[in-house]
């Protein structure tokens, strides 16, 4: 869903299968997507929906930050990596290990869009719109940052994916507040 | 207020000592706990790392009134408790916020790694966990500084960075072939990779105070690769550039210096592009190893101590220049004159393409 409009609807698929279907539906051409862990896929798809209509994408820029929040961090990928280091099956996987960091999703979005600004990942004890709004608002203290792609991207495991992302800009317009976030959640739950 | 925040208390807990002073002395004298470990954590290949003597830490924690937590929580609480005491603040006050910097925490989801801090100190606000790969400690300082500048309801922020090593982390770095089989050699021609380390460190930040200040700090992404630095040093260059012009009293830059081929080369390029090639540089990972979520805070605190004594710390493991661009390093301590004020930059970079730079000043 984007700005209140349904972008695509699936009743069968969930989690990473849903993200794969979204990748095809949105006609994103970025084969690296298939190497990503669940949270990176979720962040990438959410950002593709958010940015679909933006003009002048893929031009290097330093003025847009990516600031994401989650509860589970990279736990979905940690589970897969741990399976490669058990006593019975000891083949540590570098391809899985590199995703065992909660901030890699922000890096993937930066790489895809050529954002050279700030990228930050925070893990919260639970979803907290107030905390998200404070930290995002404070990120504009960096004089280079004029725009922040931000929000909640959380994967407890491969079957449970949540993403609610925003493009927040310096300037006039609707203020980014906890009420705005909570209002969206109340309307669409 | 001019965008600065003050450091009111700090602590450093590593296998080399439980105070900033002890850790500074260890670096000065070239003492390290980087040792070869065989079979530790059930890891099949031997590895060199700087690991805690867990009993010694628990004894110290007991003295500090911190019994009965898991080991990760113990080092978090120990560092926080020492810094809080130095700052003389009440951690249970409504005016105090906590920020935790770690990459893997205690091995469970990071959101639960914050619980011990909240319970032990009766924090009134939710603890924020910053997990921004190897720059987490600097990210936490950047974030905490902004929080103090922007939020009137918060007067003090306790920023704790901590990392313990594990089978998970060691096997992961082994699988990437990133670990050196001997104590690491930052920026040296013969460097063969990094060593991992355990540590915790904390600072208490406030709006005003004499002594050390955090002047500015930024985070920049390379937008290049998730597990390798930019060949052109893009993110580190941009992070440094945000702190320019260099202050006249800039004494040194404490670099990341992991001793991997790519990182150190990248940093030499970033420093040159920022016009900082001639500024003295030191790298501390030949002493502490790479302490991950603790590195930004630990290395900043040890650098503060050095600057107070007018010393540019030696880079253990370094002897022969090994980067394409010149870097002003030394294997022995150097002195500088600091009449009145002194500043230094702490620089880090990490997976996900992140780079962080923070400017500290005294006086």
| Three-state SS at B16 | coil
Looking at the structure of chain B, the number of domains it has is: 2
Q: Do B221 and A137 touch (CB under 8 A)?
A: no
Q: Do A97 and B176 touch (CB under 8 A)?
A: yes
Exposure on the CB side of residue A19, measured as CA atoms within 13 A = 26
| Three-state SS at B211 | coil
pLDDT of residue B32: 98
Overall size of chain A counted in residues? 189
Query: What is the spatial distance between Cα B81 and Cα A54, in angstroms, rounded to a whole number?
Result: 48
Q: Are residues B48 and B66 in the same domain?
A: yes
C-alpha Rg value of chain B to the nearest Å: 19
Continuous segment of H or E residues that includes residue A67: strand A64-70
Is any Cβ of chain B less than 8 angstroms from the Cβ of A139?
yes
Q: Do A118 and B242 touch (CB under 8 A)?
A: no
Query: What is the spatial distance between Cα B208 and Cα B200, in angstroms, rounded to a whole number?
Result: 25
Is any Cβ of chain B less than 8 angstroms from the Cβ of A89?
no
* Domain housing B264: 212-362
**With bands split at pLDDT 50, 70 and 90, how would you rate the model's confidence at B340?**
confident
pLDDT of residue A12: 83
Give the β-pairing of A119-123 and A64-70: parallel
Nearest Cα of chain B lies from the Cα of A104 at a distance, in angstroms, of 4
**With bands split at pLDDT 50, 70 and 90, how would you rate the model's confidence at B75?**
very high
Render pLDDT for B105-120 as a digit per residue (tens, 0 to 9): 988 878 777 889 999 9
Query: What is the spatial distance between Cα A43 and Cα A115, in angstroms, rounded to a whole number?
Result: 15
- Out of B130, B146, B224, whose CB is closest to A122? B130
Render pLDDT for B20-56 as a digit per residue (tens, 0 to 9): 999 999 999 999 999 999 999 999 999 999 999 999 9
Q: Do B172 and A66 touch (CB under 8 A)?
A: no
Residue A127 lies in a domain: yes
Residue A89 lies in a domain: yes
Render pLDDT for A109-167 as a digit per residue (tens, 0 to 9): 999 999 999 999 999 999 999 999 999 999 999 999 999 999 999 999 999 999 999 99
Residue B249 has pLDDT above 60, yes or no: yes
Residue A9 lies in a domain: no
Q: Do A92 and B174 touch (CB under 8 A)?
A: yes
Residue A139 lies in a domain: yes
pLDDT of residue B67: 84
Residues in chain A closer than 8 A to B224 (CB atoms): 111
Residue at a domain's end among B190, B206, B222? B206
Render pLDDT for B202-236 as a digit per residue (tens, 0 to 9): 999 999 999 999 999 999 999 999 999 999 999 99
Contact B187, B322 (CB under 8 A): yes
| Three-state SS at B328 | strand
Q: Do B175 and A139 touch (CB under 8 A)?
A: no
**With bands split at pLDDT 50, 70 and 90, how would you rate the model's confidence at A10?**
confident
Q: Do A102 and B114 touch (CB under 8 A)?
A: no
Q: Are residues B224 and B202 in the same domain?
A: no
Question: Torsion angle, CA of A78/A83/A85/A87, rounded to 10 degrees?
Answer: 150
Q: Do B218 and A87 touch (CB under 8 A)?
A: no
Which pair of structure tokens corresponds to residue B281?
């540089």
Is any Cβ of chain B less than 8 angstroms from the Cβ of A60?
yes
Q: DSSP code of B45?
A: S
Q: DSSP code of A101?
A: S
pLDDT of residue B2: 75
pLDDT of residue A129: 97
Residue in B285, B298, B280, B288 with CA at minimum distance from that of residue B335: B280
Contact A118, A66 (CB under 8 A): yes
Average the pLDDT over B295-304 and give the result.
98
Is any Cβ of chain B less than 8 angstroms from the Cβ of A102?
yes
Contact B219, B240 (CB under 8 A): no
**With bands split at pLDDT 50, 70 and 90, how would you rate the model's confidence at A8?**
confident
| Percent of chain B predicted with pLDDT > 90 | 94
Query: What is the spatial distance between Cα B87 and Cα B300, in angstroms, rounded to a whole number?
Result: 17
Write the CATH number for A129: 3.40.47.10
Q: Do B225 and A142 touch (CB under 8 A)?
A: no
Query: Residue A91 burial (CB < 10 Å; 0-12/13-18/19+)?
Result: exposed
Q: Do A111 and B168 touch (CB under 8 A)?
A: no
- Out of B115, B176, B219, whose CB is closest to A120? B219
- Out of B111, B223, B242, whose CB is closest to A60? B223
Q: Do A108 and B167 touch (CB under 8 A)?
A: no
Q: Are residues B151 and B262 in the same domain?
A: no
Nearest Cα of chain A lies from the Cα of B112 at a distance, in angstroms, of 7
Contact B37, B46 (CB under 8 A): yes
Residues in chain A closer than 8 A to B168 (CB atoms): 78, 81-82, 85, 100
Q: Do B218 and A60 touch (CB under 8 A)?
A: no
Nearest Cα of chain B lies from the Cα of A17 at a distance, in angstroms, of 23
Q: Are residues B199 and B217 in the same domain?
A: no
Sheet holding B196-197, edge to edge: B34-37, B47-50, B196-197
Render pLDDT for A29-81 as a digit per residue (tens, 0 to 9): 999 999 999 999 999 999 999 999 999 999 999 999 999 999 999 999 999 99
* Domain housing A67: 15-188
Residue at a domain's end among B145, B178, B206? B206
Nearest Cα of chain B lies from the Cα of A70 at a distance, in angstroms, of 9
Residue in B299, B300, B236 with CA at minimum distance from that of residue B271: B236
Nearest Cα of chain B lies from the Cα of A186 at a distance, in angstroms, of 23
Residues in chain B closer than 8 A to A124 (CB atoms): 111, 126, 128-129
Residues in chain B closer than 8 A to A64 (CB atoms): none
Residue B182 has pLDDT above 80, yes or no: yes
E-only strand ranges, A85-170? 119-123, 147-157, 160-169
Q: Are residues B219 and B171 in the same domain?
A: no
Residue at a domain's end among B206, B232, B255? B206
How many CB pairs (< 8 A) connect A and B?
A: 161
pLDDT of residue B108: 82
Render pLDDT for B132-170 as a digit per residue (tens, 0 to 9): 999 999 999 999 999 999 999 999 999 999 999 999 999
pLDDT of residue B306: 98
- Out of B126, B139, B172, whose CB is closest to A100? B172
Residue A152 lies in a domain: yes
Looking at the structure of chain A, the number of domains it has is: 1
Q: DSSP code of B160?
A: E
Instruction: Tell me the ipTM for this assembly.
Output: 0.97
| Three-state SS at A131 | helix
Nearest CA in chain A to B237: A116
Residues in chain B closer than 8 A to A131 (CB atoms): 126, 128
Write the CATH number for B302: 3.40.47.10
Residues in chain A closer than 8 A to B174 (CB atoms): 92
Residue B281 has pLDDT above 90, yes or no: yes
């Amino acid at each position: 869903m984007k700005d209140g409009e349904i972008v695509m609807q699936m009743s069968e698929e969930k989690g990473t299968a849903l993200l794969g279907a979204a990748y095809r539906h949105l006609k994103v051409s970025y084969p690296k997507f298939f190497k990503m862990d669940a949270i990176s896929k979720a962040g990438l798809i959410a950002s593709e929906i958010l940015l679909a209509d933006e003009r002048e994408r893929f031009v290097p820029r330093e003025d847009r930050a990516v600031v994401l929040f989650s509860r589970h961090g990279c736990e979905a990928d940690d589970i897969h990596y741990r399976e490669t280091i058990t006593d019975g099956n000891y083949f540590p996987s570098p391809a899985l290990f590199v995703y065992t960091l909660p901030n890699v999703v922000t890096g993937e979005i930066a790489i895809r869009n050529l954002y050279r600004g700030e990228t930050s990942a925070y893990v919260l004890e639970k979803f907290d719109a107030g905390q998200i709004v404070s930290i995002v608002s404070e990120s504009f203290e960096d004089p280079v940052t004029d725009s922040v792609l931000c929000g909640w991207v959380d994967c407890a495991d491969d079957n449970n994916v949540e993403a609610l992302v925003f493009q927040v800009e310096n300037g006039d317009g609707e203020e980014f507040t906890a009420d705005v976030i909570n209002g969206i959640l109340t309307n669409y739950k | 207020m001019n965008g600065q925040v003050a450091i009111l208390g700090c602590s450093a807990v590593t296998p080399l000592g439980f105070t900033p002073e002890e850790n500074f002395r260890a670096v000065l004298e070239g003492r390290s706990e980087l040792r070869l470990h065989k079979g530790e954590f059930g890891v099949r290949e031997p590895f060199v790392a700087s690991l805690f003597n867990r009993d010694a830490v628990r004894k110290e924690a007991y003295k500090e009134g911190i019994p009965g937590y898991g080991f990760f929580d113990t080092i978090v609480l120990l560092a926080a408790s020492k810094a809080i005491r130095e700052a003389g603040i009440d951690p249970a006050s409504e005016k105090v916020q906590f920020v935790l910097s770690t990459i893997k925490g205690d091995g469970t989801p990071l959101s639960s790694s914050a619980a011990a801090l909240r319970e032990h100190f009766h924090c009134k606000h939710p603890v924020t966990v910053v997990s921004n790969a190897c720059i987490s400690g600097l990210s936490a300082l950047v974030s905490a500084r902004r929080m103090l500048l922007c939020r009137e309801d918060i007067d003090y922020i306790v920023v704790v960075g901590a990392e313990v090593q594990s089978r998970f982390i060691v096997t992961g770095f082994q699988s990437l072939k990133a670990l050196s089989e001997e104590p690491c050699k930052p920026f040296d021609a013969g460097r063969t990779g990094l060593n991992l380390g355990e540590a915790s460190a904390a600072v208490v930040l406030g709006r005003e105070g004499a002594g050390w200040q955090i002047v500015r700090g930024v985070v920049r992404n390379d937008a290049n690769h998730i597990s390798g630095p930019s060949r052109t040093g893009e993110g580190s260059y941009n992070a440094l550039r945000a702190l320019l012009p260099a202050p006249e009293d800039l004494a040194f830059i404490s670099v990341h210096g992991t001793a991997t081929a790519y990182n150190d080369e990248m940093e030499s390029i970033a420093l040159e592009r920022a016009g900082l090639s001639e500024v003295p540089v030191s790298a501390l990972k030949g002493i502490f190893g790479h302490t991950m979520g603790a590195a930004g805070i630990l290395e900043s605190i040890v650098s503060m101590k050095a600057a107070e004594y007018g010393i540019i710390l030696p880079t253990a493991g370094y002897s022969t220049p090994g980067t394409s661009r010149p870097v002003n390093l030394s294997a022995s301590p150097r002195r500088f004159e600091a009449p009145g004020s002194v500043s230094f930059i702490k620089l880090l970079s990490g997976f996900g393409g992140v780079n962080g730079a923070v400017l500290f000043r005294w006086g």
